[in-house]
Structure 1
Amino acid sequence: MAQVIRDCAQAAEELRGIVEQARDVVFFGGAGVSTASGIPDFRSENGLYNQHFSSKYSPEALLSHQIWRDDPEAFYDFYRKMMCAPEARPNQAHLKLAELEEQGKVSAVITQNIDGLHQIAGSRNVIELHGSTHRNYCVSCGAGYDEEWMLQTDGIPRCEKCGSIVKPDVVLYGESLDESNITRAVRAISSCDVLIVGGTSLVVYPAAGLVQYFQGKKLVICNLEPTPQDAQADLLCACDIAGAFDW
């Protein structure tokens, strides 16, 4: 039975000990990693799916390929207001992971987030399973645009070169994950001896299925709520993830 820790200071001490003894640490994170940066997660009580938004569609529907295709006005209105977070800054979890990578402890950060905060914090080997709001591309000519450009547009964003629609480089519901990113993630998880899973409910597949490729020594899950894979963990940190990385 895994040890369960609810106190942030104690969790940080246990986590530091595991990392110090590790040969190769990989971090796999979700929306809960960025809540301390002011970005809501999806399924918690105060998450995005439980917020009211002035639209005839649910937030989950507004993140689908079908709405992007059939009602792009509604999609982009929601996307700009709720998915882009230009003012957000890395919290202690992002900063510590970047520091541990610099020290040679963390070899990869695998994230389901699209906010780019790991890179802003300084992490270099980041595998973005669901893309990034910082990248947008023309569906016809492939011209690229950043988040600032997207936020300055109104209605349906159009390419300045050819006039076609500009789509965020994010994986919407109904779209497949990039196979090269999946391959990189599986390779990283398969070869590490410590896997830290943080801020994710581990219910969204295929991303949640990546944990099954871990064959190392220590599996740590840091999440406020229980996950379906808690029974496989060696340590459960049921506390704020930013606090667990505060050492």
Structure 2
Amino acid sequence: MNFAELKQMVATSSNIVFFGGAGVSTESNIPDFRSAAGLYQAKNESAYTPEEVLSHSFFMKHTEDFYDFYKSKMIYKDAVPNQAHLALSSLERDGRLKAVITQNIDGLHQMAGNRNVMELHGSVHRNYCMKCNKFFDLSYILNIKNLVPRCDVCDSVVKPDVVLYEEGLDMELLFRARECIANADILIVGGTSLTVNPAAGLVREYAGGKLILINKMPTPFDARADFLINDSIGKVLGALV
């Protein structure tokens, strides 16, 4: 099938689901994790690996070190949606895209205008007191004078609503994502290495014959794809809309 036919297929569907990862936001200058230029490959002067720092046990034991890394490496407050985000927003406005399922925590899909976004790994924009559960936005985390944000009501530590290593996903959210993918006419997967479970396993829930996989690097699911495109996700999605 040529690209014109693929575009026509997308144009005539009313039940598209998008599942994406860190590669969706790299064109917004947010580094991914596992590529050659990714976060896990960057020079690290700390005695700890990024995987260790981004774990629940590290957060509990070394909260200051966690926040030092988190604020400098995980938050990109000036990032704006790129062509991929804008294309997905356009698909939703046109009634073709039913859901965005993302592993990203940056909130750029919502900033672009998408409404039905399932954030499997949480969001930097939501933060909660670990004792009284009071909500705090990102500006509170960034502007508080102390490195470790504390609740202005009970003085307990405020934790980002992001899923750390050793923590489980929200099972209700995961179930909703599975249901959306299972019922999708077209499943577009993009910007993800499909190596992090259980999120990556969601692709197996799709039993249709219109799996579009867009990623610059090979993934374990390439052989399952009905349409495999190794190119910029922003470029491809922008051309499909």
TM-score between both structures, scaled by the size of structure 2: 0.95
Is 2:240 the partner of 1:232? Answer: no
Q: Identify if the C-alpha distance between structure 1 residues 144 and 15 changes in structure 2 by more than 3 Å, giving closer, same or farther.
A: farther
Q: CA deviation at 1:198?
A: 0.3
Q: Alignment partner of 1:23: what SS?
A: coil
Conserved? CA contact 1:65–1:172, under 8 Å:
yes
Is 2:16 the partner of 1:25? Answer: yes
Greater RCO, 1 or 2 (C-alpha within 8 Å, sep 6+): 1
1:214 to 194, 206, 216: 206
Q: CA deviation at 1:21?
A: 3.0
2:129 aligned partner: 138
User: What residue identity is the alignment partner of 2:216?
Assistant: L
Count matched residues. 238
Q: CA deviation at 1:15?
A: 4.6
Instruction: Output the CA distance in 2 between the equivalents of 1:86 and 1:16.
Output: 33
Q: CA deviation at 1:166?
A: 0.1
Moved over 3 A (4+): none
The RMSD of aligned alpha carbons is: 1.3
Instruction: Output the CA distance in 1 between the equivalents of 2:27 and 2:104.
Output: 14
1:7 aligned partner: none
Instruction: Output the CA distance in 1 between the equivalents of 2:140 and 2:114.
Output: 24
Instruction: Output the CA distance in 1 between the equivalents of 2:9 and 2:54.
Output: 37
Conserved? CA contact 1:55–1:74, under 8 Å:
no
**More displaced 10-residue stretch of structure 1: 176-185 or 149-158:** 149-158
Q: CA deviation at 1:217?
A: 2.7
Instruction: Name structure 1 gaps, 5 residues minimum.
Output: 4-9
1:44 aligned partner: 35
Q: Alignment partner of 1:73: what SS?
A: helix
Conserved? CA contact 1:137–1:166, under 8 Å:
yes
Q: Alignment partner of 2:115: what SS?
A: coil
Deviations 1:67-107 (A, max 9, x none): 10111111000000111110000001000101100100000
2:184 aligned partner: 192
For 1:150-165, list aligned pairs within 5 A.
Answer: 150-153=141-144, 154-165=146-157
2:169 aligned partner: 177
Q: CA deviation at 1:52?
A: 1.5
Q: Alignment partner of 1:202: what SS?
A: coil
Instruction: Output the CA distance in 2 between the equivalents of 1:78 and 1:15.
Output: 42
Deviations 1:96-154 (A, max 9, x none): 10110010000000000000000000000000000000010001001111111101133
What percent of counterpart residues are identical? 53
Q: Identify if the C-alpha distance between structure 1 residues 142 and 231 changes in structure 2 by more than 3 Å, giving closer, same or farther.
A: same
Instruction: Output the CA distance in 2 between the equivalents of 1:233 and 1:14.
Output: 16
Conserved? CA contact 2:14–2:95, under 8 Å:
no
Instruction: Output the CA distance in 1 between the equivalents of 2:238 and 2:70.
Output: 32
User: What residue identity is the alignment partner of 1:236?
Assistant: L
TM-score between both structures, scaled by the size of structure 1: 0.93
User: What residue identity is the alignment partner of 1:76?
Assistant: Y
1:92 aligned partner: 83
Q: Alignment partner of 1:242: what SS?
A: helix
Instruction: Output the CA distance in 2 between the equivalents of 1:242 and 1:41.
Output: 15
Instruction: Output the CA distance in 2 between the equivalents of 1:179 and 1:139.
Output: 20
Conserved? CA contact 1:199–1:241, under 8 Å:
yes
